[in-house]
Amino acid sequence: MQRQITIGLTLVGAALLVAGCHTDMWQQPKVKAQQKSEFQGFSNKAASRPLVAGTVPRGKMKLDEAFFTGFQDGKLVKELPIQVDEMVLKRGQERFDIFCSHCHGRNGDGKGMINQRGLVLVRPPASYHSDRLRNMPIGHFYDVITNGFGVMYRQAPGVEPADRWAIAAYIRVLQTAMNGNLNDVPSDERSKLEASAGKPSIADAATPGEEKS
Ligand code: HEC
């Protein structure tokens, strides 16, 4: 009996071992990255081929012109192509502080740390609080982030399209905050503001570590 059990177990073990030894999937013909190909049709002998022209990853077709370019029919869009809520503005603020504020300043006045430390080779970063940029269609900000502007290089690689719009929306917040007056404030909030007059406001807000002159 003992012997039969031993033989049985040995057979089961052997069967498992043999079953695990299939190498046909492992050894199938295939190309690895950077490998050479002898295929006659590939004149440069590279096994990895570039994508066929016009290939678009599934679900990544950029059909929405306004959303992906900031233009519609050749004109800068005047309205945000996304829904704006508090979350979007907070996201815009966060992304702006990360990707733009070191040049443009936390409040968009163009006096970020890079400007203050004299690292301005050709032109200083723009202030967003000029009449021209206040009246600029919002698509312009998307376009500047996407393609750069003058000496400013493009920020597209670090900032996804939806985040570019969030930043554009937040630039409008900065513009409004820096150019508002008391009439823009709801009447019940005005008295609070008047009471705090003389205390620091957003216009004085400095980038942390910034030296006030
Ligand atoms: C490395 C510094 C730097 C960074 C980072 C930077 N900018 Fe700029 N930006 C500049 C400079 C410099 C100019 C002025 C370019 C010129 O006039 O040639 C400028 C100009 C602009 C303008 C004005 C365009 C116009 O019509 O005059 C906008 C809007 C702008 N930047 C938005 C952004 C946003 C949004 C970000 C972040 C996503 C950003 N920038 C990041 C340096 C920077």
Question: What confidence category does residue 181 fall into, taking pLDDT thresholds of 50, 70 and 90?
Answer: confident
CA 152 to ligand 1 centroid distance, Å: 5
Residue 201: the pLDDT is: 61
CA gap 114, 176 in Å, rounded: 24
CA 11 to ligand 1 centroid distance, Å: 74
Question: What confidence category does residue 159 fall into, taking pLDDT thresholds of 50, 70 and 90?
Answer: very high
* pLDDT single digits (tens) 188-198: 888 887 787 77
Segment 193-209 mean pLDDT:
64
With residue 72 as reference, give the H or E element that holds it: strand 71-72
Q: Is residue 109's pLDDT more than 90?
A: yes
Residue 88, helix vs strand vs coil: helix
User: Is residue 157 assigned to a domain?
Assistant: yes
Residue 57: the pLDDT is: 85
Q: Tokens 């050749």 sit at which residue?
A: 74
* pLDDT single digits (tens) 53-65: 988 888 888 889 9
- Report the candidate in 144, 151, 193, 185 with the shortest Cα–Cα distance to residue 168: 144
Question: What confidence category does residue 212 fall into, taking pLDDT thresholds of 50, 70 and 90?
Answer: very low
Expressed as residue numbers, the domain containing 135 is 70-194
Looking at per-residue confidence, does 115 or 147 come out higher? 147
Segment 53-79 mean pLDDT:
92
CATH number of the structural domain spanning residue 96: 1.10.760.10
Segment 181-193 mean pLDDT:
83
User: Is residue 94 assigned to a domain?
Assistant: yes
Question: What confidence category does residue 200 fall into, taking pLDDT thresholds of 50, 70 and 90?
Answer: low
Looking at per-residue confidence, does 79 or 28 come out higher? 79
- Report the candidate in 149, 151, 130 with the shortest Cα–Cα distance to residue 139: 149
- Report the candidate in 56, 77, 74, 43 with the shortest Cα–Cα distance to residue 165: 77
Atom 22 of ligand 1, residue of closest alpha carbon: 126
User: Is residue 155 assigned to a domain?
Assistant: yes
Atom 13 of ligand 1, residue of closest alpha carbon: 125
CB half-sphere exposure, 68, CA atoms < 13 A: 6
* AA letter at 211: E
User: Is residue 183 assigned to a domain?
Assistant: yes
Structural tokens at position 212: 């006030």
Residue 36, helix vs strand vs coil: strand
Question: What confidence category does residue 1 fall into, taking pLDDT thresholds of 50, 70 and 90?
Answer: confident
Q: Which residues pair with 72 in a beta bridge?
A: 75
Report the interhelical angle of 86-99 vs 161-179 (nearest 10°).
90
User: Is residue 6 assigned to a domain?
Assistant: no
Residue 213: the pLDDT is: 45
User: CA 173, 178, 184: angle at the middle one, nearest 5?
Assistant: 75
User: Is residue 58 assigned to a domain?
Assistant: no
User: Is residue 19 assigned to a domain?
Assistant: no
User: Is residue 199 assigned to a domain?
Assistant: no
**In a mutational test of the pocket of ligand 1, which residue from 91, 99, 103 has the highest number of ligand atoms less than 8 Å from its CB?**
103
* Mean residue pLDDT across the chain: 87
CA gap 206, 115 in Å, rounded: 13
**Total of domains in the chain:** 1
CA gap 60, 167 in Å, rounded: 22
Would the CB of 90 count as within 6 Å of ligand 1? no
